[in-house]
Amino acid sequence: MNSSAVLLLAYGGPNSLHDVPAFLCEVRGGQPVSQVVIDETMRRYRLIGGRSPLLDITRCLASKLQNEIGSPVYVGMRHWHPFIGDTVHAMARDGISHAVAICLAPHYSALSIGAYHAKLNEARSACHCEDADEAIPVFDFIESWHTQPQYIAGIAQNVCATLAQFGADAKIIFTAHSLPVSARNPYEAQLRETARLIAQHLGLSDDRWMLCYQSAPRGSVAWLSPQVGRIVPQLAHAGEKNLVIAPIGFVADHLEVLYDIDIALQEIARANGVRLVRTPMLNDSDALVRALAELVRERNAQHVIRGA
């Protein structure tokens, strides 16, 4: 029986259009969701194929990582099945005593990564209450991995391949999900460090790349900026003709990539006479598998040293 494992944590997404109302209710902590929001969200998912590909991608990534490291790899979703709590119960039943937990989002913020950590702690507490005689896994939680060399190299390789599609120069825009300004630390600094490392890897001059944010909801709260949807027209006005969008805050295809960039942002680019191409996501690529495997090996080595 394996006593050590890995838990990959991701946001979650509806498996069908039928799931969208319940998914939105879960995301909002059980609060009612207006029909207008449901209809718009269903429209967006319909345009990207009627479901989120995130679970399939994460499970495939988990399988490859398991083959790479030789330890069980589990998947837990924050807002949809398989929920983190259900996965922690399964790990306890399987006799897992220690696991490295990795969020498939490399940059830390209390609002995002902190919420995953809280869900994990809630799941462990629930296991203690319900299965008093069962060993509960102890999790070594990785809060951020925004400078991991294989992650940096993987994105850089995808940017390089995308640049090759242009016969002329192109400007690189690194993007990440916006957050309220109140949650900028250390999220914003980590994103800038990631973007800088990728730019250095590619030998980009400072004037050929920038960091922007995307997917901020409307409302009265101030969110991190600049927003990429506003920057694209400005760059077009300044004479830029070719733009490469490189999402660095995400590692897999999901709604904020497949709709917010590939559909909504493309419409803005076309309206402004700009050619815009998005880099492929890392998804279950060898680069991401190697990055995660290295994170696991480093943490397991530290665990052995601490236990020695």
Sheet holding 73-77, edge to edge: 73-77, 4-10, 98-103, 138-142
Helix H, strand E, coil C: the string for 168-190 is CCCEEEEEEECCEHHHCCCHHHH
Tokens describing residue 154: 């993987």
CA separation for the pair 62, 253 (Å, rounded): 15
Residues whose CB falls within 8 Å of the CB of residue 162, separated by 6 or more in sequence, listed in order: 244, 246, 277, 278, 279, 280
Instruction: Please provide the average confidence, as pLDDT, over all residues in the chain.
Output: 94
User: pLDDT digit string (tens) for 51-102?
Assistant: 999 999 999 999 999 999 999 999 999 999 999 999 999 999 999 999 999 9
In the chain, CATH 3.40.50.1400 covers: 4-145+285-307, 149-278
Percent of the chain topping pLDDT 70: 95
Looking at residue 205, its amino acid is S
CA separation for the pair 93, 48 (Å, rounded): 37
Buried b (16+ CB within 10 A) or exposed e, 266-278: bebbeebebebbb
Alpha carbon 170 to its chain centroid, in Å, reads 25
CA separation for the pair 27, 146 (Å, rounded): 25
CA separation for the pair 3, 17 (Å, rounded): 38
- At 305 the pLDDT is 60
* Rounded (10°) angle between helices 35-47 and 20-27: 120
- At 127 the pLDDT is 83
CA separation for the pair 254, 53 (Å, rounded): 6
- Cβ(241)–Cβ(166) below 8 Å: no
Tokens describing residue 7: 């838990």
User: pLDDT digit string (tens) for 100-157?
Assistant: 999 999 999 999 999 999 999 999 988 876 655 567 899 999 999 999 999 999 999 9
Alpha carbon 147 to its chain centroid, in Å, reads 15
- At 136 the pLDDT is 87
To 10 degrees, the CA torsion angle through 251, 252, 253, 256? -50
**CATH number of the structural domain 149-278:** 3.40.50.1400
Query: Per-residue pLDDT averaged across 252-259, rounded?
Result: 98
CA separation for the pair 226, 98 (Å, rounded): 41
Statement: residue 3 has pLDDT above 80: no
- CATH topology (fold) of 4-145+285-307: Rossmann fold (3.40.50)
